[in-house]
Chains A and B, each alone.
Chain A
């Protein structure tokens, strides 16, 4: 919203505050000054404010609304342009309203119109709002719109054929606007039309059909307020934003329309010499009622956290145009007609406090009640995990969670389909990533372009997909490492070490039958936890500047859920005897069988007797099986007892 300092001063003649003071006052009370520029207007130096008006203040998208705020803040009277009563005739306008989306319409026929150019002050005035001068009648209607916030429409009355009708479109597919643009309609738009043609997309823009021309002698003036949501929807959907749509998509006060309408007719009579040549057409099915809100004045101090006297609260409300009946508690506060954004006591408190100014409320660190800790275990765990990884030399990256379709297809290994956005501006990245791998691979490509050495990155973040028509998301942890021949094993050790440190004691690594296409199909493993797939470890098919790349990814939600189910047993032991190490060979089908066998042996020995159990050799036998040399280290047993137990648990008797 743009406004000149002298526009405000005209409406608030007692204003002595400087433009900077006015800008600061508006900013602090809810209308932020974005800029303050020295300009020349009407031959005089002036100051142009650019203000950010929030959507709830429909009344402030006008010069009058801003001036009213300034007058309230500085407690000065507001001087509105006066209007005189005007005479109507008996002629009834042929207007019909066929939709309940029209909340109010006022219209009259104006005769004896003469096309005149606008004076320079008016041309300049409108230019500040990027409104091009057309002729005096149109310019005055725009002037009133800028001043009051109510848009109007001037129509060449003699062009009309039959009734002028407001209706919801259900058949028209194209319309040509005043500037010649062809607009495709899809239905549901609010239209003004006559028997032959569309006159306007109501609340947005007119067509050329009945636009007033230099020869227009009879004007139909209409000023309306609609269901503002519909105007907004149509304006957005049709990609047409005009000064009128900007005003009419707000929740304008219906009662405020009277003054704007009268002012425009007065100006047209005074400046052009038109005569009102009809009855006033009024469509106002649900007239605005005055709104009374109960306010307990104690609420002001309670919400502020500082004592604000009742007299001061009452005074501030009155400055803002409220009527306060404080003969009883709660007070009955009547909301001024131009405000449509207020409905409850808390709204009134905000009004009082914003004028009181928030910067007069002390900022004291509160001594708030102790509340229960509800941080979820995963949130805490992620921070520990990050620390562990960083301490091991890993760099954390955060990537785009929206990726290319090709990237998702090359990296996905999970049994879900792609979750895709419907309206992404950037069409190259329509999909949510299905894996962290998708992001890490993309990151490695970017790093390769920049020849970054020592690639060792991880990311903890969300992955997304669709399963059974439901959108799902999960927290994953992914690693990507570039290095020499042993890089896959290095990463396996990192993942194993990480998981063991996190609290996992039994992992199974099994060959992945179908891995993501980005992986080397001969070097892809699935990580199983409690027989559930926890994640994958893969060697990537692409290299990194001649180095081998390995990547791994695990489901952090699954991991934390597992960790929540297991009891924590301390690793600490008291050593009173020397440890006894004994080896044994096991011939088994594969590593999975080995894991099961070791779990069984471990259970047989029991926590008290076992120091460690590890595989020290793996040897492929000609019969397709494997021989594993397992080293068991026993504690709290003498040599003889340990040997006896060893033979027993390994079945070597």
Chain B
């Protein structure tokens, strides 16, 4: 048989081969010791020189081509086998959605405020919720029987000295007692007032206190800080006003109001017709508060402000009932992401 005829025959047989054993048999048939092509190559040695010179390269080339055909088919078979294995072993992804976790709205609100104040160089402080009368009231210039205590119905654990803090100003009193000024600090935290729970009021809620003590601060500094705070949350167009308001721990005392976002100042049910919404309390720290902390009010001055966090969180998260914030009425859609940027 001529070399080309043998190679054609080999091609034809390889097409039908499906596994390595078959491939090995074909190899033996053509290139093994007794193989059809191998025999022809071996037989060359018996030929005359001229004939050997003619036939030699032909059969050598045939032998090489045969090997290439076998290698090629071997590679094909490996690929087929691998594909089959992959197919068998391939895993499938499920349709089950991945549950996402969520931060509580109060945490998100605190973070939003903390981010702003940390950028302005403030530290963040927390302190105890079980407080003494001294740090919740007396050191904030609210002595026993001061009428201002009527504004804050207090939970007592051991009347009259051990109580649940009614305001995060207690952290201010602790801070003034334990740290040397200057400092700039914000204090988020949970506070308690012994009130009946309804849609608008809860006996557990959240405050956010800011305290700055330095050698020189003024109302203009306080107003600038407060304005930056409101602008960061409500945008640069927000309208803020500052009015005089009494708080025993500050002098002068300040009532910051934000123009009603609903009626833009014309008066509606949300702002009770006055066009403004009260947003907390503030002022320059009372000299007596500094003195009680062992600081000389001639040397040190400060400002403080306090905000209620719950209503901010409620407004941002479309929550209409304050009771929702704490407890089983607040749910999170398990697959709904929140862009917290």
| CB atoms of A379 and B101 under 8 A apart | no
**Which residue in A363, A369, A391, A398 is a CB contact (below 8 Å) of B326?**
A398
Knowing A393-B100, A396-B104 are in contact, say whether A446-B327 is a contact too (CB < 8 A). Answer: yes
Give the residues in chain B near A447, CB-CB below 8 Å: 328, 331
Q: How far is the CA of A188 from the CA of B245 in the complex (A)?
A: 34
Interface size, chain B (Cβ < 8 Å) = 87
Q: How far is the CA of A145 from the CA of B187 in the complex (A)?
A: 44
Give the Cβ gap from A488 to chain B, nearest Cβ, in Å.
19
Q: How far is the CA of A250 from the CA of B327 in the complex (A)?
A: 40
In chain A, positions 335-383 with a C-beta closer than 8 Å to chain B are 344, 346-347, 349-350, 353-354, 358-359, 361-366, 368-376, 378-380, 383
Contacts A229-B145, A462-B129 known; A395 to B101 CB distance under 8 Å? yes
CA distance A432 to B183 in the complex (A): 33
Does B41 count as interface, using CB distance less than 8 angstroms?
no
* Smallest beta-carbon distance B105→chain A, Å: 9
A35 CA to B267 CA, complexed, in Å: 11
> Are A425's CB and B214's CB within 8 A?
no
Cα distance A370–B190 in the bound complex, in angstroms: 28
- Indicate if the CB atoms of B157 and A362 lie closer than 8 Å: no
0/1 interface trace, chain A 395-410, chain B, CB 8 Å (1 if under): 1111111100000000
A342 to chain B, nearest CB (A): 10
Best-surrounded residue of B124, B148, B185, B248 (most CB of chain A within 10 A):
B124
Evaluate whether A35 and B272 lie within 8 angstroms (CB atoms) in the complex, with A30-B244, A358-B244 already known.
yes
Is there contact, CB below 8 Å, between B195 and A425? yes
CB distance from A32 to the nearest CB of B (A): 7
B193 → A minimal CB distance (Å): 10
Q: Is B253 an interface residue (CB 8 A)?
A: yes
Does A303 lie within 8 Å of B130, measured CB to CB? no
Is B106's CB under 8 angstroms from A421's CB?
no
Evaluate contact between A375 and B125: CB separation under 8 angstroms: yes
A422 at the A/B interface (Cβ < 8 Å)? yes
Q: Which residue of chain B has the shortest Cβ distance to A458 in the bound complex?
A: B101
B255 sits at the interface (CB 8 A): yes
Query: Residues of A contacting B227 with CB < 8 Å?
Result: 363, 365
Residues in A whose Cβ lies below 8 Å from that of B126 = 376, 378-379
Contact A361:B219 (CB < 8 A) given known A33-B274, A368-B121, A421-B156: yes
Interface of chain A residues 413 through 434 with chain B (CB within 8 A): 419-426, 432
The answer, yes or no, to whether A163 is at the interface (CB within 8 Å) is no
Residue of A nearest to B334 (CB): A454
Query: Given A305-B220, A379-B126, are A346 and B107 neighbors across the interface (CB < 8 Å)?
Result: no
**B25 is an interface residue with CB less than 8 A from chain A:** no
**Docked-complex contact B101 and A303, CB < 8 angstroms:** no
Pair A372/B224 contact, Cβ less than 8 Å: no
**In contact, B125 and A303 (Cβ under 8 angstroms):** no
Please tell me if A607 contacts chain B, counting CB pairs below 8 Å. Answer: no
Min CB–CB distance A251 → chain B (angstroms): 8
Within B244-287, the residues touching A (CB, 8 Å) are 244-246, 248, 251-255, 272-274, 284, 286-287
The answer on a CB contact under 8 Å between A390 and B145 is: no
Closest to A359 in B: B241
Distance A288 CA – B328 CA, assembled complex (angstroms):
58
* Cα-based distance from A395 to B330 in the complex (angstroms): 11
Across-interface contacts of A59 in B (CB, < 8 A): none
Interface residues in chain B, defined as those with a beta carbon under 8 Å from any beta carbon in chain A: 98-104, 106-107, 111, 120-121, 123-126, 128-130, 145-148, 150-151, 155-159, 162, 164, 179, 182-185, 190, 194-197, 203-204, 212, 214-221, 223-228, 240-246, 248, 251-255, 272-274, 284, 286-287, 325-332, 334
If A28-B243, A229-B145 are given as contacts, then 16 extra A-B residue pairs at C-beta distance below 8 Å, sorted by A number, are: A33-B274, A56-B246, A304-B218, A346-B286, A346-B287, A354-B244, A363-B224, A364-B223, A371-B123, A371-B184, A390-B100, A390-B102, A396-B102, A400-B204, A421-B157, A471-B157
28 examples of A-B residue contacts, CB within 8 angstroms: A30-B243, A34-B274, A232-B150, A303-B252, A346-B287, A358-B219, A358-B242, A358-B252, A364-B221, A366-B221, A370-B121, A372-B123, A375-B124, A375-B125, A379-B124, A379-B126, A390-B101, A395-B101, A396-B107, A398-B104, A419-B130, A423-B194, A424-B194, A432-B164, A443-B328, A454-B334, A456-B99, A461-B190
